[in-house]
A and B are shown apart, each in its own frame.
Chain A
């Protein structure tokens, strides 16, 4: 992307420039903007933390942590890295990214604050990208409010068929955990944005446009009924009931937009997935493929992918790693026994992330840049370690995002102790065009990430 087009696109997205005379010809401006690929954003969430010593440079010789609940004094302080950039020291878990160095920045030193009163696993996932600062939500035990992806989509998702897409690689059949363990995307407090777990269902939702006219037929009817129904509701119920209108509106808008894109979509490089059991790696990559395709085709500009639910003590088959089903959560609580296997799981997850980076960097967009260039793609977990359950020193890697003004440094960026993770989200939200004074408990943007 040329400097000029990028700058005008960035400016065009901010309200402050509206007074500029050249923008008074919106049609022309739009025509010009349409040629530059849109800025996109995706989160790759890894559950249950990582084994620190295989992930963080210099911690290799550290003693293995004992199982700990959330307790300030038990957390691993880790290595004190110099502030700012330094070369990446390639640890086993970071290994799969080595060949992709030019696309990433490895970030350490980011923390979240745990708000006691809920399960650590549930909160670390459900509030990972929450826009609420801890202790500010009075109506819920969770410091949870409209999440980063949805705030960003308020702007970036205006013209896409799907404002956002949520994917989750949770194939468990037992219904044992609550929604808080399995969702990082939320419309608002208590209002989950449920994720697509089944690849085939996801595919059909994304690409099927048939039957739309029949749907529209019904939506007209039920919308008029809903309007009169709404008048009978108390104010608090009316507030919640807005979800009905929002949902119908989203569907209607999507139908219109999807129809416009139909020709384009028929060229998608992805076949409909079969209804079959998938080994874990294939499952994660297939959901990743769907996400990449959605971003590539412009079905959405904002997506989240949870590659597994938090806690959920049901064993998975990690075909390529172990011969028997294994329980990630249980292993994380007993590092002294399972550390080697856990490191395999962490490495395996990082390989999937590397797969996505590769895939996105191979997709060319209209002006010669790649899909990765135009997407801020973040790897992260809500726990700094699966055994200590610490919310500090989180494992974070950011890839791509040049088109949004980020600069993949190929380096290790250490933030000073106590830097809120929210600073990263603030940086990304602003790069995506949001004018936010702050995000959750952020103290300021991470300027080193910007180009």
Chain B
């Protein structure tokens, strides 16, 4: 079965490739698209009164009607390519027809998007709290954090060395949310943060449409800026630019102010500063000096002002309106470092050379080898995997004694495992398919024990994690680890639909509609008559409404496949009522699987789809906005190029940086 799956996958891959439509546009609509829609789709989508899923294909009279609606085109391509449509009970499309249709629709979408005049821009937005911390830290070259950041789930005890291209076999890490005193990192005394910025639904916490300002926040920024520069820890020992910026020069004090501000403002505002702006800040510092302030105090004052300026606080994309290499430099550094660009980036931008593909790739590689990459690892993977969900999951104590040790929980260790896997794949530039199925993992003694059914225990702070080979394919990868299995369960039982929705969202970037919640959650304990049913049977009895089937046919098999992992991620063959677990099912109506290993094989067979999905998450994070239909062709190209480079993680990151949505008009300018 596995071979057939792989074979049909390769054929599909060929079909889904970038082969342009074989027919001219008008022809394709008249000869293929319209007749196929009429034959196989309009019965439910537009003819008569039925317009299921708000998709009306009956009303489409020409290719132009379709081209006007890129969102619809994208929806159609997705539904057809994944064989979601037509549904099972309807006559299937011939393989050739489906393939041709997808190719033609993709071509239509490409043309539709290509004819759009302007690039999609992320709206102007303030930095989020994490970015603000990093930017302030980098601007002043602080050796400590600005304020405590629960955003970071992992504390690094010195293992993170991306410049070596290698993760050490043994690393020491701490769990910040659940470990002991993990939030107490060296930081500036007397500085209180503003509230954490929430994630967007199915998105990240850097989204432009979510990051706005209010008097409440503005006041935080004003007070923060003062408390930072006036912290007792803000001194020559912890501030790297103390001597070059804050320390009074021996002579020519006034001249020094302007010279120092020129460099400082350039870094804070991420571009060469114009004279008017420079004069404004210089005059301010001068006024402080005139009023009798000491040099250092005056420079503290002006520095506080600088980090309240919108030129510092706000990120913006100018797109067609004069975007330049400086914008690109910021986009790149906020993508991979969650912070302001450094001198090499700014110098290249000043020379107008950053947009040159070779230079850009060299910079991406440099950023990927810098320790500031940890910020990317502290934000993207945990949000991609939605790992914060594990913080609030507490299994029922009575049935899960082994989960608890002292005041701690096994989840403290669990959450670190997928994060360390992600970091390894990134730092060692491994194929992203290892995120689905890896032959190694990083585990603490607790976790090693745990997977063997042992009890939790161990140190609560700097926990040693060892790289261990994973020979049992039931383990390995970000899906079947104890963290994800635990956080997608309730305190007493697994939640297959939650797991399925997690998988559809995270792995295939195809989040189901928000639960219409037309069906109740399963009661924690089955009612008497259901005691002998499996969870699959109980759920089936629960959801008999046909209008729910559309989504569930997609997400349920994904969740049921993971049923062998109990509510704390432990393997089980049988439920407590003695019934066998039935993990089997069909993925994308194409790959039959009987167990989790075959399921993983099926996922791997769809690795190109995973690559595109993962690229979508990454691109959305890089751009700070949700993706739209217009991004689809770029996403196709990113995925195809990464696939051609052996699915390597760094290749994918490079392709993101070289993509049209990321470069915006920098690319257009280069092409002019």
A69 CB–B CB distance under 8 Å: yes
Instruction: Enumerate 8 A-B pairs (CB-CB under 8 Å) in ascending A order.
Output: A173-B177, A178-B201, A194-B216, A215-B222, A221-B284, A229-B314, A334-B521, A337-B523
Cα(A297)–Cα(B284), bound, Å: 37
In the assembled complex, the Cα of A191 lies from the Cα of B319 at a distance in Å of: 23
B218 and A333 form a contact (CB under 8 A) = no
A241 at the interface (CB under 8 A from B): yes
By a CB distance below 8 angstroms, the chain B residues around A234 are: 121, 318-319, 321
B453 at the interface (CB under 8 A from A): no
Contact yes or no, A225 B209, CB < 8 A: no
Q: How far does the Cβ of A346 sit from chain B's closest Cβ, in whole Å?
A: 20
Max count, chain B CB within 10 A of own CB: residue among A194, A222, A240, A247: A222
Contact of B309 among A69, A120, A225 (CB under 8 A): A225
A179 vs B198: C-alpha distance in the bound complex, in angstroms? 6
- Would A218 and B222 count as touching, CB distance under 8 A? yes
Kindly state the separation between the CA atoms of A330 and B316 in the bound complex, as whole angstroms.
41
Chain B residues touching A, majority SS: loop
Q: Determine the chain B residues whose CB is within 8 A of the CB of A119 once the complex forms.
A: 201, 514
Contacts of B281 in A (CB 8 A): 221, 225
Give the docked Cα–Cα distance between A215 and B308 (Å): 11
**B153-164 contact mask (Cβ, 8 Å, vs A): 1 or 0:** 000000000000
- Identify which of residues 200-222 in chain A touch chain B, using a CB-to-CB cut-off of 8 Å: 205, 211, 214-215, 217-219, 221-222
Top 10 A-B pairs ranked by shortest CB distance? A67-B520, A247-B218, A69-B517, A250-B215, A237-B124, A69-B516, A69-B518, A314-B392, A243-B213, A221-B305
Residue of B nearest to A140 (CB): B209
Are B212 and A222 in contact, with the CB atoms below 8 A?
no
Q: Are A67 and B195 in contact (CB under 8 A)?
A: no
**Other than the known A192-B214, A234-B319, A250-B218, what 6 A-B pairs have Cβ atoms closer than 8 Å?**
A175-B150, A217-B301, A218-B222, A226-B310, A229-B314, A333-B520
Residue of B196, B310, B523 near A175 (CB, 8 A) is: B196
Which chain B residues in 248-262 approach chain A with CB under 8 Å? none
Tell me the smallest distance from the CB of B533 to a CB of chain A, in Å: 18
B294 within 8 A of A: no
Q: Is the CB–CB distance between A237 and B316 below 8 Å? A: yes
Q: How far is the CB of B65 from chain A (nearest CB, A)?
A: 21
B276 in the interface, Cβ–Cβ < 8 Å?
yes
Count residues on chain A whose CB falls below 8 Å from chain B CBs: 63
**A313 and B284 contacting across the interface, CB-CB below 8 Å:** no
Contacts of A68 in B (CB 8 A): 517-518
Asked if residues A215 and B223 are in contact (CB atoms below 8 Å), the reply is yes
Nearest chain A CB to B664 CB, angstrom units:
13
| Min CB gap B223→A, angstroms | 7
A112 within 8 A of B: no
Contact residues in A for B123 (Cβ distance below 8 Å): 236-237, 240
Is the pair B310, A222 in contact by a Cβ cutoff of 8 Å?
Answer: yes
Q: Which of B218, B388, B389 has the most CB of A within 10 A?
A: B218
Contact B280 A118 (CB under 8 A): no
B218 and A197 contact, CB distance less than 8 A:
no
Q: How many Å from the CB of B194 to the closest CB on chain A?
A: 9
The contact string, 1 if C-beta is below 8 Å from chain A, for chain B 307-336, is 011110010101101000000000000000
Instruction: Tell which of B198, B304, B314 touches A218, judged by Cβ atoms closer than 8 Å.
Output: B304
Interface residues of A in 65-120 (CB under 8 A from B): 66-71, 118-120
Contacts of A244 in B (CB 8 A): 213, 218, 310, 314
CB distance from A232 to the nearest CB of B (A): 8
Would A313 and B392 be within 8 Å (CB), given that A243-B214, A244-B218 are in contact? yes
Any A CB within 8 A of the CB of B7: no
B516 touches A190 (CB 8 A): no
Assess whether B222 is in contact with A67, with CB atoms less than 8 Å apart.
no
Q: Does A133 contact B (CB under 8 A)?
A: no
A190 in complex: contacting residue of B196, B209, B218, B518, CB < 8 Å: B209
Cβ-based interface call for A435 (8 A): no
In the assembled complex, the Cα of A246 lies from the Cα of B219 at a distance in Å of 12
What is the CB-to-nearest-CB distance from B81 to chain A, in angstroms, rounded to a whole number? 24
**Within the assembled complex, what's the spacing in Å between the Cα atoms of A194 and B221?**
14
Return A208 CB to nearest CB of chain B, in Å.
Answer: 10
> Which residues of B are found within 8 Å of A197, using beta-carbon distances?
195
For B200, what are the chain A residues with a Cβ–Cβ distance below 8 Å?
178
The answer to whether B214 touches A194 (Cβ under 8 A) is: yes
With A192-B212, A337-B523 as contacts: A219 and B222 at CB distance below 8 Å:
yes
Residues of A within 8 A of B284 (CB): 221
B181 within 8 A of A: no
* Cross-chain contact of A330 among B177, B209, B218, B521 (Cβ < 8 A): B521
A211 touches B124 (CB 8 A): no
Binding site for B on A (CB under 8 A): 66-71, 118-120, 166, 172-179, 182, 187, 190-194, 196-197, 205, 211, 214-215, 217-219, 221-222, 224-226, 228-229, 233-234, 236-237, 240-241, 243-244, 246-248, 250-251, 254, 313-315, 330, 333-334, 337, 389
Q: In this assembly, does B519 line the interface, its C-beta being within 8 Å of a C-beta of chain A?
A: yes
A244 to B195, CA, bound (A): 18
With A66-B520, A234-B321 as known contacts, state yes or no: A225 contacts B214, CB within 8 Å: no
With contacts A194-B217, A389-B517 taken as known, whether A179 is within 8 angstroms of B223 at the C-beta atoms is no
Choose among B201, B310, B319, B515 the residue that contacts A225 (Cβ–Cβ < 8 A): B310
Residues B214 and A196 in contact, CB atoms below 8 Å apart: no
Cβ < 8 Å to A, chain B residues 266-320 = 276-277, 280-281, 284, 301, 304-305, 308-311, 314, 316, 318-319
| Bound complex: CA A175 to CA B152 (Å) | 12
Is residue B210 contacting chain A, with contact meaning CB distance below 8 A?
Answer: yes
Q: Which residues of A contact B61 (CB under 8 A)?
A: none
Closest to A242 in B: B213
CB pair B214 A247 closer than 8 Å: yes
Query: Closest approach, in angstroms, between the C-beta of A413 and any C-beta of chain B?
Result: 31
Asked if B172 is an interface residue, CB under 8 A from chain A, the answer is no
Q: Would you call B50 an interface residue if the criterion is a C-beta within 8 Å of the partner chain's C-beta atoms?
A: no
Q: Are A228 and B214 in contact (CB under 8 A)?
A: no
Is the beta-carbon distance between B213 and A173 smaller than 8 angstroms? no
Give the docked Cα–Cα distance between A170 and B518 (Å): 27
Please, how many angstroms separate the alpha-carbon atoms of A234 and B215 in the complex?
Answer: 23
Residues in A with CB closer than 8 Å to B214 are: 187, 191-194, 243, 247
Q: Report the Cα distance A174→B199, complex, angstroms.
A: 11
Contacts of A211 in B (CB 8 A): 223, 226
Please tell me if B444 contacts chain A, counting CB pairs below 8 Å: no
Name the residue among A166, A228, A244, A389 with the largest chain B CB count within 10 angstroms.
A244
Q: Residue B391 at the A interface, CB < 8 A? A: yes
Please state if B519 and A226 are interface contacts (CB–CB under 8 Å).
Answer: no
> Do A240 and B308 form a contact, CB below 8 Å, given A214-B226, A314-B392, A334-B523?
no
Closest to B285 in A: A221
CA A69 – CA B225 in complex, angstroms? 46
Chain A residue numbers with a CB within 8 Å of B222 are: 215, 218-219, 251
> Are B210 and A178 in contact, CB atoms less than 8 angstroms apart?
yes
Q: How far is the CA of A233 from the CA of B633 in the complex (A)?
A: 29
Q: How far is the CA of A218 from the CA of B227 in the complex (A)?
A: 13
Known interface pairs A118-B514, A173-B150, A174-B389. Does A67 touch B521 (Cβ–Cβ under 8 Å)?
Answer: yes
B526 to chain A, nearest CB (A): 12
CB pair B124 A67 closer than 8 Å: no
Identify the closest chain B residue to A220 (Cβ).
B284
Interface string of B176-219 (1 = CB under 8 A from A): 01000000000000000001101111000100011011111111
A334 to B524, CA, bound (A): 10
| Interchain CA distance A174-B150 in the complex, whole Å | 9
Interface residues of B in 602-622 (CB under 8 A from A): none
Question: How far apart sit A447 and B198, CA to CA, in the bound complex (Å)?
Answer: 41
Q: Mark B127-155, 1 if CB is under 8 A from A, else 0.
A: 00000000000000000000000110000
Please give the distance in Å from A170's CB to the nearest CB on chain B: 10
Contact residues in A for B215 (Cβ distance below 8 Å): 246-247, 250-251, 254
Cross-chain contact A229 with B216 (CB below 8 angstroms): no
Smallest CB gap from A387: residue in B: B520
Question: Is A194 within 8 A of B195, CB to CB?
Answer: yes
**Known A178-B199, A221-B280, A251-B215: A240·B124 in contact at CB below 8 Å:** yes
Q: Which residues of A contact B388 (CB under 8 A)?
A: 174-176
